[in-house]
Amino acid sequence: MSEREKPRREATLNQLTLGGGGAEVTARRRAEAGPALPQAYTNRYEIKYLVAARDLAKVRHAFEGLLEGDANNGDNGGYFNHSIYFDSPHYRYYTEKHEGQLARVKPRLRFYRATAYAPPSAIYLELKGRYDRIVAKRRTRLDMATAEALLRGNDPAAAMAHNGDAVAKEFTYLAHRFNLQPCVTVLYHREAFFSALYKSLRVTFDSGLLCSLATEPLNPLESYQQGLPNGETVLEVKYNDQIPKILLTRLNTLGLQQRTFSKFAVSLERCFDQFRSRRFRASRFA
């Protein structure tokens, strides 16, 4: 971004903040833009690639000497992200993604697991906001009882009465305004890497993407289907301000093409037959 462009971009980002202007202005901004992008993350970017199984070893080799495995990878070389996304009965957030709106948000519960069916090591309620290419993820930690209450459709304000932080309040507002309910589960194996030289750089390999319209804390295996039937791996590169030139050079040498890719949207589309016939039923628990 040139110096001439920066003031215009920063002014646009300021429109996403929710403070000032009274209750009516705040409510309108919430409805139009979702959560604010915290200033600390206004220059955080994320680019994605789909890597065919035949090319995966070559891509891994290209990153040797530049990246180190994250401590969260565990004994099996990675961990599992188990995400349950929320949307309105008319699929507001899916539509915003499909139409390419610049400002949008994805509310979700995320369970971190050592294996696909291990007890979660942590549970978070997350609001992933985006303005164009700029991303920001805010989250608050939950216990299992609170996560189950949200998945059952309980009143978020009551379920999170003990949690007074901004993320809980923001989700409660959005849930009430748009009648949010859990809509799709996404499960995949993640390997995460960082660079000792480029502190803000994070690279992840997400493989074995599964999706389901079942939205319980632990779905039966038979409820899932393949999110990427050709077995591709999603390569994500996250960085602040500018991508390191050495990494960009290696990506270009590999011939990889950037992709606009949403696990949330792809998973809903893959489940389309069920997605069309099941208009948001509450999660069922024994």
pLDDT digits (tens, 9 = 90+) for 184-239: 999 999 999 999 999 999 999 999 999 999 999 999 999 999 999 899 999 999 99
Extract the tokens encoding 248.
């960009």
Task: Burial-class residue 134 by CB neighbours within 10 Å (0-12, 13-18, 19+).
Answer: buried
The Cα 120–Cα 79 span in angstroms is 11
Residue type, 200: S
Closest to 215 in 3D by CA, of 142, 270, 151: 151
Residue 60, SS3?
helix
pLDDT given at position 276 = 57
DSSP character for 120?
P
Extract the tokens encoding 18.
């929710």
The Cα 178–Cα 197 span in angstroms is 43
Helices and strands (H, E) in the chain, number of each type: 10, 11
- Is residue 170 very low, low, confident or very high in pLDDT (cuts 50, 70, 90)? very high
The Cα 174–Cα 276 span in angstroms is 23
Q: What is the mean pLDDT of the chain?
A: 83
pLDDT given at position 24 = 54
Position 117 pLDDT exceeds 80: yes
pLDDT given at position 79 = 96
Q: Cα dist. 93→50, 51, 106, 244, 280 in Å?
A: 23, 26, 7, 32, 14
Question: Which helix H or strand E contains 203, and what residues bound it?
Answer: strand 202-212
Residue 267, SS3?
helix
pLDDT given at position 14 = 34
The Cα 196–Cα 217 span in angstroms is 35
pLDDT given at position 29 = 42
